[in-house]
Amino acid sequence: MRLVLLGAPGSGKGTQAARLKEYLDVPHISTGDLLRAEVAAGSPLGLQAKEVMARGDLVSDEILLGMLRDRFSRDDTRNGFILDGYPRNLAQAAALDQLLADLGQKFDAAVQLTVDNEQIIERLAGRAKAEGRADDSPESVRHRLNVYDQQTAPVIEFYRQHGQLTVVDGVGSLDDVFTRIVEAIAPEKAVG
């Protein structure tokens, strides 16, 4: 199964993707994690991305698409993947469709996790404190939420128009949200 998880920063995409990875036995591909790995490695891409991420802005489509092309060409994605953090705009959604077509892979569904902005700010403030992440400061989070509203939210409509969108309430216990996702994407495999 090839899934895209959509939702504002802090909506729980990464947390739920990690659980879905085990459940569906496909890799979780987080563009944020891929970028942070490049930053940690000090690569030219990482240095470029570090400056952009610290401002709370989005890394260029060209950089992200190149990373995804490489990642999707690996054997562990043969049976699918869970992608979070991409696509973030309409151009990326179209580019992702084309990339998958080029690789002969079928896209299955986009799952949107919905969470109120104030809850997101609280969640990410806790993460910033626990992990020391500069990109989760309240100011950066507010900026990222504004960027999301302006650039990423239209992607939701893109997938809705293509009949590929499932909306899931992202508020509640981790188990409750996980169960809602599984029931939406794979009712035949639903957990109870």
Regarding pTM above 0.75, the answer is yes
Cβ proximity of 106 and 2 under 8 Å: yes
* Residue of 2, 50, 123, 144 marked active site: 144
**CA-based nearest residue to 155, from 57, 86, 80, 82:** 86
* Residue of 13, 19, 50, 123 marked active site: 13
Active site residue 127: yes
**Domains along the chain with CATH numbers:** 2-185 (3.40.50.300)
* Residue of 2, 19, 50, 88 marked active site: 88
Round to whole Å and give the CA distance between 155 and 72.
21
Amino acid type, 9 = P
Per-residue pLDDT of the chain (192 residues; tens, 9 = 90+): 999 999 888 899 889 999 999 999 999 998 878 888 778 888 777 787 788 878 878 778 887 888 888 889 889 998 999 998 789 889 999 999 999 999 999 899 999 999 998 888 888 887 777 887 767 777 888 888 888 888 887 899 999 999 999 999 999 999 999 999 999 998 665 554
The burial class, CB within 10 Å (0-12 / 13-18 / 19+), for 53 is buried
Active site residue 13: yes
